[in-house]
Amino acid sequence: MERMPKFEIYKDASGQFRFRLKAPNGEIIAVGEAYTTKDACKNGIASVKENAPKAEIVDLTQ
């Protein structure tokens, strides 16, 4: 059975809402900031989904 990538919404130790993006193999590949409401957290996920495909890569190590 092939797994799909997924966003998981969870509460952190302080009760804030956060999200993490998991790859098909279950590895966490991104973590969002803390949000005070679940709706705000969902908006953060929507922003990542909209903006990530067109985001440029900026290498700050040089």
**CA-closest candidate to residue 33, choices 20, 23, 22:** 20
Q: Domain spans of the chain?
A: 6-52
Residue 1 has a pLDDT of: 64
Confidence of residue 55 (pLDDT cuts 50, 70, 90): very high
Q: Residue 8: pLDDT band by 50, 70, 90 thresholds?
A: very high
pLDDT digits over 12-52, tens only? 999 999 999 999 999 999 999 999 999 999 999 999 999 99
* CB count in 10 Å sphere of residue 14: 6
- Assign domain 6-52 to its CATH architecture: 2-Layer Sandwich (3.30)
What confidence score (pLDDT) does residue 62 get? 85
* pTM as predicted: 0.87
Three-state SS at 35: strand
